[in-house]
Structure 1
Amino acid sequence: MKLLITGATGKVGQNFLPEFLSSETFRDWCVVALCNNRVIEPRERVEIIQGSIADPSTVARAMAGVTHVLHMAAVKESPDLAIDVSIKGMFLLLEQFRQLQGAKQFVLISGDCSVGHAFQPYPGPVTENSERKAYPGCYALTKVLEEVMLEQYRFQYGLNGCTLRAPWIMEKDDFRYALAFGREQFGGPLWTDFLTPDDVHTYASGKYVPLLLDRQGGPLKRNFVHVSDLVAAALAALDNPKATGELFNISMNEPVDYRQAAQYLADTRSYEIAEIPTPLHSNWLDNTKARLMLDWDPSVDLEALIEGAWNYRRDAKDPRKIWYPG
């Protein structure tokens, strides 16, 4: 078997590849890593091809002899790149893959931006059957289109596709900096969207933790997943007959409740709580289907997410560098 990976240099890719290569299940597989601006370190059983996913000749070269694809390459809010990378790139991959003699499975890593995460309302849990409702911006739109393209290639050509839809992916100390008030803040929302500059300065100068409130006035509930759990789900779905033609929500068993998170940090690390009203919606990404069908269960809950982020100590060779904000 031969697996093509796109996005191998990203957060998920860097965690997935060593787990895949060390797995007994996949010990006889080889890998092709299609890289563009950044390139992974050479490894045994891994062929590296450098070039753009939007270039037909590069995609054709990378796809030679491939049996499986794990597509993770993406750009965020970059309108000048969104169509070429996310739409044209996905189309070229699918077109090449459907014509391969030994094509077996195409796995897409998508995001809960396709269901609007905290920006769109849902009357109940967000399941795989919920309506797709992107939030404003090109990134969410491209994820909707990628999911639909893979779905339609199943109808058009019988292609075996599987989508893993993940919310905000955490690793290392990400969650700590997602709750930071200073310039070191990782991801969103930007505090200046909800607070005055003076309030932001006050909170950044002290030891505060944000307690976001949803538009109903209750604690915001927002979905997250640890990268290790997403990697475990990808390994569980790869070459799994139960994943044929399926879409799975891959998230923590419960969304993060900002009141619970803030109270935990107040109790364990003496933070002061800053309540912040927002127009955001509380949503619950339901992972029941993945747990039942893939025999997968996330291991990182809220306490583990917080403890892991606050206890993480970076090596000097591992500076905090954010390729994509959020």
Structure 2
Amino acid sequence: MGKVGANLLPEFLANEKFSGWSLRALCNNRVIDHPAVEIVRGSLSDQHAVRAALDGVTHVLHMAAVKESPDLAIDVGVKGIFNLLEAFRTSKTAKQFLLIGGDCSVGHIFHPYDAPITENSPRRAYPGCYALTKVIEEIMLEQYRIQYGINACSLRAPWIMEKDDFRHALSFRDQFGGPAWGEFLTIEEIARHAGTGAVPLLRDAKGAALKRNFIHVSDLVSAILLALDNPVANGGLFNVAMDVPVDYATVAAQLSASHGLPVVEISTPYHSNWLDNTKARMVLGWRSAVDLKLLIQRAWAYARAPDDPRLVWYPG
């Protein structure tokens, strides 16, 4: 089960609002072994598998995605949501379609914005098929609402953190995500920084400390549960992110003070942006509970058990 699903399932089952609901998951590569979840095997690109999965279903939560996999991007990212929406709009039981999107639809750190990024800001995908598919998903969902009047909403989330993800996102030894240090440093420099446990202080295109948006998975889960079966969510696109973007200078200062880690400044061509979550707070009553201090504390305190390896799923 993926990061979001694994965290969502226990919270969903414990929530009295959803007492009596049943769960069905359409899985291709993922494995879900839980007595509360019925499994349908198949690909989103297979319309017959999708229709079988949606038979009798009332609410659809679409979280599937592939990263930079051009051979799968159209089948999963584009054809997949098309199949889901076609099955949903023709269903006699369907009530709500909820999409988990990403801030790659607005380019996160790749494109500059001269104001906080709201739900009305222009979509600007960064290079690559993944960001393109996330833009198409948002637009297709929007058009299905216009064309057919379906009850649908989208939660647009930035980079999702859990466990020790944030520590590895800053690691020179076993990095999780990007930007890849090899784009800015030599192999020798990376090895030296890994040996000292250094912390990167990224600089943006203007030379200021880079500011990038994150969200802890527990906060995304709380947003999903608030939006699910909630009439006020109908037709909404909601940015869900930490109230304040992560400032790499603040991160470096905190880890230097708390853990005595050296700091390495790295110049980048990226842009500092602020994903504004005002609409989600106002309409859904959602609040981000994990701020930067807590994000750092959790990531550095987390100790992985032998049966809890780091798994990064892209295709699937």
Q: TM-score range by the shorter chain?
A: over 0.9
Question: In 2, distance between residues paired with 1:324 and 1:200?
Answer: 25
Aligned alpha-carbon RMSD (Å):
1.0
Secondary structure of the residue aligned to 2:299 is: helix
Question: Which ranges in structure 2 are unaligned for 5 or more consecutive residues?
Answer: none
Residue 32 (structure 2) pairs with residue 40 (structure 1): yes
Measured after TM superposition, the shift of residue 106 of structure 1 is 0.3
Deviation per residue, 1:42-74 (Å, 9 max, x gap): 323x21111111111111110000111000011
Q: Paired residue for 2:296? A: 306
Q: CA deviation at 1:38?
A: 2.1
Using CA pairs below 8 Å that are at least 6 residues apart, which structure has the higher relative contact order?
A: 2
Tell me the TM-score normalised to structure 1 length: 0.95
Percent identity for Structure 1 against Structure 2: 63
Aligned-partner residue type, residue 196 of structure 1 = T
State how 1:93-108 maps to structure 2 within 5 Å: 93-108=84-99
Determine the structure 1 residue equivalent to 2:169.
Answer: 178
CA–CA separation in structure 2 for the residues paired with 1:119 and 1:56: 34
Q: Is the 8 A contact 2:2 2:30 kept in 1?
A: no
Distance between the aligned counterparts of 2:293 and 2:101, measured in 1? 26
- TM-score normalised by structure 2 residue count: 0.98
Structure 1 moving runs of 4+ over 3 Å: none
1:199 alignment partner, SS class: helix
Equivalent residue for 1:211?
201
Q: Which of these residues, 259, 262, 272, is aligned with residue 262 of structure 2?
A: 272
Q: Does 1:17 align with 2:9?
A: yes
Q: Secondary structure at the match of 1:52?
A: coil
Amino acid at match of 1:133: R
SS at 2:200 equivalent: strand
Which residue of the partner structure matches residue 324 of structure 1? 314
Structure 1: tracts of 5 or more residues without a match: 1-8
Q: CA deviation at 1:102?
A: 2.2
Q: Is the 8 A contact 1:39 1:50 kept in 2?
A: no
What is the SS of the residue equivalent to 1:69?
strand
2:144 & 2:262 partners in 1: Cα distance?
A: 51
2 CA distance for matches of 1:30 and 1:87?
27
CA-CA distance at 1:196 after TM superposition: 2.2
Corresponding pairs, count: 315
Aligned partners of 2:306, 2:288: CA distance in 1, in Å? Answer: 30
Counterpart of 1:6?
A: none
Query: What secondary structure is seen at the aligned counterpart in 1 of 2:17?
Result: coil
Secondary structure in structure 2 of the residue aligned to 1:16: helix
Query: How big is each residue's C-alpha offset from its partner over 1:193-251, in whole Å with a ceiling of 9 and x where there is no partner?
Result: 11222221221121210000001000000000000000000000001111000000000
